[in-house]
């Protein structure tokens, strides 16, 4: 059979079926949307965090924190050691007071917090930007180790450490998203299968007749598969709309607060690959549901 | 058109057909008769390959049914037209759509399906009922619709299982006249019926089944 006639027949029947039993179909569509929102939401967040981590990593910062009671000669010795390193792009000294000021800037809402503390817990430090070629784990670790052993130095921290921990978090987040979304997706598939099974039962006579007059299985099943695919497609489009709305609300919320965290939530919503994946997943879920649903009608005649 | 060699069909311990052999030539009109439970329906189901014989060979419309792969069944069925006692119409589709759907389902274009459907409905005399639903028309009319549907694929062989079983004698005769006309146009027709009155109304040969065995032609004359 010609492909255009086949698709027209299948989707024509599927649309009739959807319109005819809107309510049942809507529940399947909604559940598919929900599962994709959960899945897509976690993916979006982890993806954005990953982008953020990537940008951080490129900065190649090492921060050398001094002990609270460091002496000027100690500070001088550390500064010299840093300056002599060939891996350094630039560095600057940040006093404890500067650290406190920066904290107040970063967290305006918490501004008074520091004054409530007896002494400033934020140590003085050297903020070092490493040369491009050394912005990798091994090089940063080697540098941090050299500086860490110097007298008067409390600890040397490089971004990668933070990033590593964040990465673990992001991966954990993605995992949770996959598990949660996967669970809801299975529920969505079952719902779709049930909705379509009801339809298969209602169209029992038609299935029998079509087989008797010589329709191929692809024609007999076509409308049910098309209906599953359509439900999945509608569900994924709905999910994308919901995700978009959530992103907009999230961004405007953060913007309204005037928070300096704003650049962190520079959410990249539009992502063709993720869109395609979610729609593909929705359509696949619908198709699986339809296939499951049709199982019982295999031997009808 | 049909060649049947020593066909036996058993369902577990029940043997519905025993050692059936016969031939039906192209263009014949044949009645298959016998009491209820004699095996008429079973034989027809074998002929349209709803089931396979337990043993024996069956060649219908040029296809050896025992060896034909499953996926070729649809194409084979398009060479047949099937008519049943209970009409098997789709109740929530109009008379017209019941017929036109077959065209769409076997790959005709929309326009062609529509044209064929309206021609056939006119042929069997229910074109005035095209937009009604099957439950809204009489039994005789429903059977005409199902005949129109069976003709959509221009079959070489028409198989009818008790086509008049639900109809009064007058309607039954009208249906038989339609079968007769179809037969004269070249289509081979096999009608299974337990109704002895029907036989002879339009001529044709008669095969008699008795408890799953075919009564030899000499004895049945
Ligand atoms: N699917 C089946 N399972 C078991 N027995 C069957 C089945 N189909 C038919 N039979 C038996 O085969 C015999 C012939 O039945 P059938 O072909 O329906 O007769 P007819 O159509 O002449 O009235 C009957 O005894 C019936 O009980
Ligand atoms: Mg019968």
> Residue A67: what pLDDT?
86
Q: What is the DSSP letter of B53?
A: -
Mean pLDDT value across residues A218-229? 90
CB nearest A209 (choices: B90, B104, B106):
B90
> Residue B198: what pLDDT?
81
What is the CB-side half-sphere exposure of residue A257 using CA atoms within 13 A? Answer: 15
Min Cα separation A8/chain B (Å): 10
The yes-or-no verdict on residue A299 having pLDDT over 80 is no
Query: Which contacts qualify for A90-99: CB closer than 8 Å, 24 or more apart?
Result: A90/A128, A90/A129, A91/A126, A91/A127, A91/A128, A91/A129, A92/A126, A92/A127, A93/A124, A93/A125, A93/A126, A93/A127, A94/A124, A94/A125, A94/A126, A94/A127, A95/A124, A96/A120, A96/A122, A96/A123, A96/A124, A99/A123, A99/A124, A99/A125
> Residue B190: what pLDDT?
95
Structure-token pair, residue A176: 């949770």
pLDDT band at A254 (very low <50, low <70, confident <90, very high): low
Q: Pick from B49, B40, B51: which is nearest to B213 by CA?
A: B40
The yes-or-no verdict on residue A93 having pLDDT over 80 is yes
Higher pLDDT, A210 or A113: A210
The complex's ipTM works out to 0.91
Q: At what angle do helices A22-59 and A272-294 cross, to 10 degrees?
A: 150
Higher pLDDT, A112 or A23: A23
Between the alpha carbon of residue B63 and those of residues A200, B20, B59, B186, the distances in Å are 31, 18, 5, 19
For residues A238 and A254, give the distance between their C-alpha atoms in angstroms, rounded to a whole number: 24
Q: Which residues contact B88 (CB under 8 A, 6 or more apart)?
A: A205, A208, A209, A212, B146
Please give the model's pTM, rounded to 2 decimal places: 0.74
Protein residues near ligand 2, an ion, with CB under 5 A? B 40-41
Are the C-beta atoms of B81 and B157 separated by less than 8 Å? yes
Higher pLDDT, A216 or A119: A216
For residues A145 and B2, give the distance between their C-alpha atoms in angstroms, rounded to a whole number: 93
**Tens digit of pLDDT for each residue in A121-175?**
778 888 888 887 777 777 777 888 888 888 888 888 776 666 666 667 777 777 8
Mean pLDDT score across all residues of chain B? 91
For residues A211 and A213, give the distance between their C-alpha atoms in angstroms, rounded to a whole number: 6
CB nearest A212 (choices: B82, B107, B108):
B82
pLDDT band at A2 (very low <50, low <70, confident <90, very high): confident
pLDDT band at B113 (very low <50, low <70, confident <90, very high): very high
For residues B144 and A111, give the distance between their C-alpha atoms in angstroms, rounded to a whole number: 89
Subunit contact B76:A1, Cβ cutoff 8 A: no
Mean pLDDT value across residues B18-32? 93
For residues A28 and A188, give the distance between their C-alpha atoms in angstroms, rounded to a whole number: 6
pLDDT band at B51 (very low <50, low <70, confident <90, very high): very high
pLDDT band at A268 (very low <50, low <70, confident <90, very high): low
Subunit contact A205:B152, Cβ cutoff 8 A: no
Structure-token pair, residue B23: 């031939």
**Tens digit of pLDDT for each residue in B151-166?**
999 999 999 999 998 8
Which atom of ligand 1 is the closest one to the Cα of B16?
12
Percent of chain B residues past pLDDT 90, beyond the cut: 79
CA-nearest residue to B147 within chain A is A213
> Residue A257: what pLDDT?
57
Q: What is the DSSP letter of B220?
A: H
Mean pLDDT value across residues A241-268? 65
Sequence spans of domains, chain A: 3-56+163-298, 61-157
Subunit contact B91:A205, Cβ cutoff 8 A: yes
Are the C-beta atoms of B118 and B103 separated by less than 8 Å? no
The CATH code of domain A61-157 reads 3.30.70.3040
Subunit contact B107:A1, Cβ cutoff 8 A: yes
**Phi-psi map region of A132: left, alpha, beta (phi>0 left; psi -120 to 50 alpha):** alpha
> Residue B43: what pLDDT?
94
The yes-or-no verdict on residue B183 having pLDDT over 50 is yes
The yes-or-no verdict on residue A264 having pLDDT over 50 is no
> Residue A106: what pLDDT?
67
Ligand 1: residues with CB < 6 A are: B 11, 14, 16, 34, 36-42
> Residue B216: what pLDDT?
80
Numbered residues of chain B with Cβ closer than 8 Å to any chain A Cβ: 48, 50, 71, 73-78, 80, 82, 88-91, 93, 101-102, 104-110, 149-150, 152-153
A chain contacts of residue B52, beta-carbon cutoff 8 Å: none
For residues A190 and A35, give the distance between their C-alpha atoms in angstroms, rounded to a whole number: 12
For residues A79 and B43, give the distance between their C-alpha atoms in angstroms, rounded to a whole number: 101
The yes-or-no verdict on residue A265 having pLDDT over 60 is no
């Amino acid at each position: 059979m010609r492909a255009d006639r086949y698709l027209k027949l299948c989707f024509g029947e599927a649309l009739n079926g959807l319109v005819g039993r809107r309510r049942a179909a809507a529940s399947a569509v909604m559940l598919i949307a929900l599962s994709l929102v959960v899945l897509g939401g976690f993916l979006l967040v982890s993806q954005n965090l990953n982008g953020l981590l990537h940008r951080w990593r490129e900065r190649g910062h090492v921060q050398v924190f001094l002990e609270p009671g460091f002496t000027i000669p100690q500070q001088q010795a550390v500064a010299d050691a840093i300056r002599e390193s060939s891996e350094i792009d630039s560095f600057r000294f940040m006093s404890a007071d500067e650290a406190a000021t920066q904290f107040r800037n970063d967290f305006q809402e918490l501004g008074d917090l520091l004054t409530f503390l007896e002494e400033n817990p934020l140590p003085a430090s050297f903020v070092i930007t490493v040369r491009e070629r050394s912005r990798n784990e091994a090089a940063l670790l080697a540098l941090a180790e050299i500086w860490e052993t110097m007298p008067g130095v409390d600890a040397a921290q490089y971004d990668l450490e933070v990033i590593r921990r964040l990465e673990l978090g992001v991966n954990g987040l993605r995992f949770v998203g996959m598990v949660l979304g996967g669970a809801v997706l299975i529920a969505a598939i079952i719902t779709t299968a049930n909705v379509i099974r009801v339809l298969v039962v209602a169209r029992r006579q038609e299935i029998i007749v079509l087989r008797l007059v010589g329709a191929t299985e692809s024609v007999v099943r076509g409308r049910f598969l098309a209906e599953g695919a359509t439900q999945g497609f509608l569900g994924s489009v709905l999910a994308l709309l919901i995700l978009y709305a959530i992103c907009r609300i999230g961004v405007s919320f953060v913007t309204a607060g005037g928070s300096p965290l704003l650049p962190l939530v520079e959410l990249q919503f539009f992502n063709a690959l993720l869109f395609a994946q979610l729609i593909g997943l929705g359509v696949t879920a619908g198709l699986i549901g339809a296939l499951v649903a049709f199982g019982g009608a295999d031997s009808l005649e | 058109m049909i060649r049947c060699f020593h066909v036996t069909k058993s369902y577990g311990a029940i043997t519905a057909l025993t050692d059936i052999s016969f031939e039906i030539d192209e263009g014949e009109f044949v009645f298959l008769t016998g009491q209820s439970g004699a095996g008429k329906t079973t034989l027809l189901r074998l002929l349209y390959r709803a089931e396979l014989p337990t043993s024996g060979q069956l060649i219908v419309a040029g296809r050896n049914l025992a060896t034909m792969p499953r996926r070729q069944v649809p194409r084979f069925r398009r060479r047949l037209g099937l008519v049943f006692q209970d009409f098997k119409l789709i109740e929530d589709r109009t008379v017209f759509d019941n017929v036109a759907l077959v065209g769409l389902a076997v790959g005709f274009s929309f326009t062609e399906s529509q044209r064929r459907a309206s021609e056939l409905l006119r042929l069997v005399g229910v074109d005035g009922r095209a937009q009604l639903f099957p439950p809204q028309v009489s039994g005789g009319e429903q059977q005409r619709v199902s005949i129109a549907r069976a003709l959509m694929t221009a079959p070489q062989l028409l198989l009818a299982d008790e086509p008049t079983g639900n109809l009064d004698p007058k309607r039954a005769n009208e249906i038989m006249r339609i079968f007769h006309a179809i037969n004269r146009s070249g289509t081979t027709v096999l009608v299974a019926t337990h109704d002895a009155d029907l036989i002879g109304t339009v001529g044709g040969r008669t095969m008699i089944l008795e408890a799953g065995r075919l009564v030899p032609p000499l004895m049945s004359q």
